[in-house]
Chains A and B, each alone.
Chain A
Amino acid sequence: MRTLPEPFAAWFAGRGWAPRAHQLALLEAARRGESALLVAPTGGGKTLAGFLPSLIDLHEAPRDGLHTLYISPLKALAVDIARNLTAPVEEMGLPIRIETRTGDTPQNRRARQRENPPNFLLTTPESLALLLTLPDAGSFFGGLAAVVVDEIHAIAGTKRGDQLALGLARLGTLAPGARRVGLSATVAHPDPLRRYLSPTGGVQDVALVVGEGGAEPRLDILLPDGRLPWGGHMGLASMPEVYRRIREAGVTIVFVNTRAQSELCFQALWKMNDDNLPIGLHHGSLTVEQRRKVEAAMAAGRLRAVVATASLDLGIDWGAVDQVVQVGAPKGVARLLQRIGRANHRMDEASEAVLVPANRFEVIECTAARQAIAAHELDGDPPRPGGLDVLAQHILACAVAGPFLPDDLYAEVTRAAPYARLARRDFDDALRFVEDGGYALQSYDRFRKLFRDAQGYVHVKTTAVARQLRMNLGTIVETPLMKVRLRGGGVLGEVEEWFVSTLTPGDCFIFAGQLLRFEGLDTTACLVTRGGEGEPRVPAYAGSRMPLTTYLAARVRAILADPKAWKALPAPVQEWLRLQQKQSELPPRDGLLVETFPRGEKWFLVAYCFEGRLAHQSLGMLVTKRMEKLGMAPLGYLATDYVLAAWCAFEPTGVERLFEEDILGEELEEWMAESSMLRRTFRNIATIAGLIEKNHPGQEKSGRQMTMNADLIYDVLRKHEPDHILLRATRQEAAAGLTDVARIGLILARAKAGGIRHRALDRVSPLAVPALIEEGREWVAGGAEDALLAEAEALVADATLGTDAFNEVLANVTEAIPPRGDRDRVRRPRDRDRNRRYNRFVRTAPKNLGS
């Protein structure tokens, strides 16, 4: 193996460094002109390894023009890397100009970059997509020698990843000689990433370089003093111990799973913060300025701790983080490892991490995750096919860049790994969708965006189309948000619109680490003042909770099924499992345990599926539909990451019929129509594909009026053209595991293969308790919406003895509220006679007028 040439060797030696093996290996690969994927833990000098060949190349043969393109999922990362690279370049006097280009880059600098490109351009997938729509993209990228994709494990497999893959395929056409370098954290399966990086979609033409492993992380599990909670996900019971840990360490990141949890933990820590430790808060709904402020304070060492969500999973290297605390179950091994890696970005020192399970099931999950990390096993999702919505956007972007032949573009697109198996029919339908909507009813002919010339080239019809596309490029779709503004003050951040819609003036809630009182709406924002009385609510965000990964779920099942493995668990948890063994039985490794028992004038059914909350939610919808058909009179259900619990009026018998694979048939069709998850999926797809605009030229400010409600489009399209490409894309996404249908399939297959163990008990089993504690705090809306409305209306009538007023107690019953003690929250079944008493405004009317 060769060593570094001068002046690089001297520069390394000057800092007391020796080039690492993987840095030299990447250099070798570059000399051979090969693409390469580097898999190494954080802190291994990965970024420098990626740039070293380019630095040396330009040192040996200086030239003008773009040489290396660096793409990172984070703007901040691109900016930070640019700063870090500038140091060696200046110290060695290399003739290299480095610039960044992101959404924040001012217009005049962008124009200058186009005329006189830097040698290294550091950018994001979105900015690359924009660059590729420029008519001079060919000359701009023509001389490209290398493309470096950072944090590739975090991009591949997402929609941004699809967009980047298509962009890389485009670059492959514009600059066929450019080699590619992928930089990845440790992953379970590197081959899909090699395929993703490859210019042909094949594994063989990307060399795999594995960096030496760092020191093993030190991983503790922290239990609260006193009783171990049965339920809840917030982990607030452990906050005193977490606070103690923060006080004893230098700098701590406290990772939590949801924004609501971050607000609550932040509040809890400050309540006991007698030492006035500087503790900050960081989550994705805070304003950018606030997040930057916290990040800067952290980097400058002014904070002792920051409570953060996934918004800090990736990011610039702070160096000085001493420990990571994970509150709540980790949900996935790779994700946990990424978070642990945020402590001590120095490879030779062990990362310190503490897991803080919030309830008994989470203790088992944390134990499983710790064992997986010790065994060097990771979870990873298999690659899914690229989205047709992203393809549609790309096709329009290509047309904006210049005329193309459909055959050529199809060939280019299928060189991107996510689209390697793209059917020609899907490509043609996506193209037709871009042209005129692609509807069977061809009424938009005169509005078409594209036209074909005599040679078959596809052109954009007007320049307005290009402007419209550039304003809406990208694959990040946000749920409708509303700004939170202090009356007479600034904006604190954004919460989801639906949360605001459940507030009445006077309600208080916790946001941005403050107690706020809702005052009212103005045209653009939710107005608040500081302070407020009563029990505060916490905004929850749809879909913000990560479901348990399949891999970790399997490990949890294995621990449960094997009493010998319980030694690793704390005594109260062992005790709990032994009790379960005695009173019912343990969920088998294969097969499905279903318990039924009466409680509080209702019958409960608890199924131990272990496929994550999202899958259980959908399964709950399907199973209760089936219960209805079988006459069990289901009243409701709830889903946790581990179990599905449903309750009904009559004893469930013949439970095997509830978990037959055919519920994915007819019940699924009904579910498709109602599922709020599929509606959300459709909304994202319609936005990315360009059916719904995020922005419209000339009307940037009045976005609300310009957008059309995706739910309405979904309903009309499902009814009139169920096979439209966007509905196909929605179903494809549902089936590919971005949502949950695939995992429901796993549950049903396991039930079929391993058999269903049905235990008819006379009372609740120990393992079912955590789920039942959640009853009433979690309810899955969807098809049951009308039933919920009726219930709310009837409850108002009951609670107020007919007084004409409205009950808001129900509004407060949300998942985000911490449990108030261990009160039994099982609700009395509704009194059927009273229920029938309609509101005095609503009575039956004659069928026909005047008859």
Chain B
Amino acid sequence: MTAAPLHMAGQRLMLDPAGVCTWPAQKLLAVTDLHLEKGSHFASRGQFVPPYDTRETLDRLGAVIRKWNPQKLVLMGDSFHDRHGCARLPPADCATLKRLLEGREVTWLLGNHDPEPPEGLPGTAVTELRIGAILFRHEADPARLPLGVIEVSGHFHPKATMPVRGGGVTRPCFLTDGRRLMLPAFGAFTGGLDIRDPAIARLFHRGGRAFLIGQERLYSFATGPLRGAMRAMEAEAASAP
């Protein structure tokens, strides 16, 4: 898997096609929206979706942690699908999770699904985390960012469709405009919200760039006003003899 470097506010972040973001200078790995125990939450409402989502998510998380071996781990909220999710963790999965967190500086950002700190797991719980110019929060704030501050957020589960021959390919994606970076959801059972949805689009009203998650690498395209400019170019090209 090939990660893509992204330069923001003089810092180099790496976007990993596994769906996480790392900050090599800080030895930091950020991941959002694990939604652990989403399966059992659905089961409690009578929908018996496969009970393997936590195991699958932790397998994948284990792989990226082994790959990047970060000192700091930022779990950017909605780590559990609901406030009782942590208590429902099967013992084996709970042990796996503890092993992954062991020896690292763990920060739990509180999300709307998990507004309380997880019990019995290491780490500190906060609503926001600021390191240098970079501000990690669960949900992006539509208010203007202070000058020189970069916001890294999750919450919306962004996905985008890239037109290809015969239709479009839809994948979860990273989304950035140079000031904000939005991460895709990491959990095995997390769907997505189209980046053109007003909830996301209003955060990126000047357009930006989406990085679609591929098997081995990311695929990027520009979004927003830039696309309109391209259309004009095409029209010109088409009308040429």
Residues of chain A whose beta carbon lies under 8 Å from any beta carbon of chain B: 433, 436-439, 441, 443-444, 447, 449, 464-465, 468, 498, 501-502, 504, 506, 520-523, 534, 690-693, 696, 708-709, 712-713, 715-717, 719-721, 724, 776-781, 785-786, 788-793, 796, 800, 804-811, 813-815, 839, 841-850
| B28 shortest CB reach to chain A, Å | 9
Restricting to B135-166, which residues have a CB under 8 Å from any CB of A? 161-166
Interface: B188 (CB within 8 A)? yes
Q: Quick one: which of B68, B167, B194, B217 contacts A781, CB cutoff 8 A? A: B167
With A439-B50, A441-B52 in contact, is A506–B228 under 8 Å at CB? yes
Interface stretch of the complex, out of B37-45, B97-105, B121-129: B37-45
Sample of 17 further A-B pairs with CB below 8 A, known A498-B168, A709-B189, A845-B5: A433-B48, A436-B48, A437-B48, A437-B49, A439-B50, A498-B167, A501-B161, A522-B198, A716-B52, A721-B50, A778-B166, A792-B219, A804-B222, A805-B227, A806-B223, A810-B164, A845-B4
| B84 shortest CB reach to chain A, Å | 13
Complex: chain A residue closest to B166, CB-CB? A779
With A713-B50, A716-B50, A793-B221 in contact, is A708–B166 under 8 Å at CB? no
Q: Quick one: which of A438, A464, A781, A800 contacts B230, CB cutoff 8 A? A: A800
Q: Which residues of A contact B169 (CB under 8 A)?
A: 781, 785, 788-789
The A/B interface has a contact count, at CB < 8 Å, of 208
Residues of chain B whose beta carbon lies under 8 Å from any beta carbon of chain A: 2-6, 14, 22, 24, 27, 38, 40, 42-53, 55-56, 67-70, 90, 161-171, 188-191, 194, 196-198, 209, 211-212, 214-223, 226-231, 233-235
Complex: chain A residue closest to B190, CB-CB? A712
| B89 shortest CB reach to chain A, Å | 11
With A441-B51, A692-B47 in contact, is A841–B6 under 8 Å at CB? yes
Tell me if B49 and A708 are in contact (CB < 8 A).
yes
| A218 shortest CB reach to chain B, Å | 40
Distance of A845 Cα from B55 Cα, bound (Å): 28
Distance of A793 Cα from B163 Cα, bound (Å): 10
Q: Quick one: which of A444, A520, A717 contacts B40, CB cutoff 8 A? A: A444
Q: Quick one: which of B165, B170, B222 contacts A776, CB cutoff 8 A? A: B165
Tell me if B196 and A809 are in contact (CB < 8 A).
no
Q: Which residues of B contact A804 (CB under 8 A)?
A: 222, 226
Complex: chain B residue closest to A776, CB-CB? B165
Q: Quick one: which of A449, A712, A786 contacts B215, CB cutoff 8 A? A: A786
Q: Quick one: which of B47, B49, B189, B221 contacts A796, CB cutoff 8 A? A: B221
| B4 shortest CB reach to chain A, Å | 4
Tell me if A781 and B166 are in contact (CB < 8 A).
yes
Q: Quick one: which of B27, B46, B163, B227 contacts A447, CB cutoff 8 A? A: B46
Q: Which residues of B contact A712 (CB under 8 A)?
A: 188-191
Complex: chain B residue closest to A843, CB-CB? B5
With A815-B166, A843-B5 in contact, is A501–B218 under 8 Å at CB? no
Tell me if B166 and A813 are in contact (CB < 8 A).
yes
Q: Which residues of A contact B4 (CB under 8 A)?
A: 841-843, 845
Q: Which residues of A contact B215 (CB under 8 A)?
A: 786
Tell me if A806 and B52 are in contact (CB < 8 A).
no
Q: Quick one: which of A724, A792, A849 contacts B162, CB cutoff 8 A? A: A792
Q: Which residues of B contact A438 (CB under 8 A)?
A: 48
Q: Which residues of B contact A709 (CB under 8 A)?
A: 189, 191
Closest 8 CB pairs of A and B: A437-B48, A811-B163, A779-B166, A788-B164, A720-B52, A501-B161, A805-B230, A779-B165
